[in-house]
A and B are shown apart, each in its own frame.
Chain A
Amino acid sequence: MSWASPDDVFLSTSLATYLDKKILVLLRDGRKLLGLLRSFDQFANVVLEGACERIIVGDLYCDIPLGLYVIRGENVVLIGELDLEKDELPPHMTRVSTAEIKRAQKAERDATVLKGSMRKRMEFLDFD
C-alpha cells in the first residue's frame, strides 16, 4: 500500500479507490461496520463517516448508527466496496428494531451456551 500516483492508483492495492465510497468493514471479532471511507493509511487504519454496525441474527438484521469511527488496522479483516445497484441483503431478511435484535442476539448466545454445557455433560458418551 504505497502512495501511488493518480494514474496507477487503480492498479495498486491502495484503498484510495474506495475513498468516499460506501464500504463494509469486517472486523476480527466478526462485527460488520458500514460507512463512507474518508481516510486510511498503510496499516489499514481507516476512518468511517456515518458508520453503523449491522447486526445479523438468523433472518433478522438491524443497523445501529455509531457516527464517526476510527478503526485500528489490526482489527480489520476485509474491506468490501458495496455495489449500490445490488440489494445489500437477501430479500427474505427482515429489518427489526434495536431492542428486538438485542433480544435475538441474547437468545442466540444463550442457546450456544446451553448447547456447550449439554455437550460437556454428555462428554462421557464419546461423540467423535
Chain B
Amino acid sequence: MLFFSYFKDLVGREVTVELKNDLAIRGTLHSVDQYLNIKLENTRVVDQDKYPHMLSVRNCFIRGSVVRYVQLPPDGVDVDLLHDATRREARGG
C-alpha cells in the first residue's frame, strides 16, 4: 500500500502519465485508488497532433495496468521519507 499512500499525497499536483502505448498525458492528479488507477483533470496530451481524438478530453480515468511511468514534480519526492516507509513496510509494521 506504500505507493498508494504515496500517490495520495500527490493529489492536486501536476503530473505526466506515460502509458504503455506511448501516449503521454499531463494533468492535475485528481485521485488514485488501490489498483493505482489514476484520474486526471485539465488534461492535455503531450503530442497533441498525433492523438487528435484526445482534443476534447478534459478529465480522464486511466487504468492502472496500462501505466508505464508517472513523471512527478521534482519537489514531490521525499526520498528519505519513502526510504523509511519502505523499511517499515519490509519489517511488517
**Which residue numbers of A lie inside 8 Å of B, CB to CB?**
1-2, 11-13, 15, 18, 24, 26, 28, 30, 32, 44, 54, 56, 73-74, 76-84, 86-90, 93
CB A74 to nearest CB in B, in angstroms, measures 7
Q: Is B93 an interface residue (CB 8 A)?
A: no
In the complex, which residue of chain A has the Cβ closest to the Cβ of B32?
Answer: A13
Q: Collect the chain B residues with CB atoms within 8 Å of residue A56's CB.
A: 52-53
How far, in whole Å, are A93 and B53 apart by their CA atoms in the complex?
11
A-B contact list, 12 entries, CB within 8 Å: A1-B33, A13-B32, A13-B38, A13-B39, A15-B61, A44-B63, A54-B53, A77-B23, A77-B66, A80-B60, A86-B58, A88-B56
Contact B63 A76 (CB under 8 A): yes
Q: Provided the pairs A77-B66, A81-B60 are in contact, do residues A86 and B33 lie with their beta carbons within 8 angstroms? A: no
Q: Is B62 an interface residue (CB 8 A)?
A: yes
Q: Provided the pairs A1-B35, A28-B21 are in contact, do residues A78 and B63 lie with their beta carbons within 8 angstroms? A: yes
Q: Provided the pairs A1-B35, A13-B32, A13-B61 are in contact, do residues A77 and B55 lie with their beta carbons within 8 angstroms? A: no
How far, in whole Å, are A127 and B33 apart by their CA atoms in the complex?
45
* Number of cross-chain contacts by CB at 8 Å: 81
Q: Is B28 an interface residue (CB 8 A)?
A: no
Contact A90 B52 (CB under 8 A): yes
- Picked from B21, B33, B39, B53, the residue with its CB within 8 Å of the CB of A77 is B21
Q: Which 3 residue pairs are nearest across A and B when measured between Cβ atoms?
A: A80-B57, A13-B33, A80-B60
In the complex, which residue of chain A has the Cβ closest to the Cβ of B65?
Answer: A74
CB A35 to nearest CB in B, in angstroms, measures 14
In the complex, which residue of chain A has the Cβ closest to the Cβ of B39?
Answer: A13
How far, in whole Å, are A15 and B30 apart by their CA atoms in the complex?
13
In the complex, which residue of chain A has the Cβ closest to the Cβ of B31?
Answer: A13
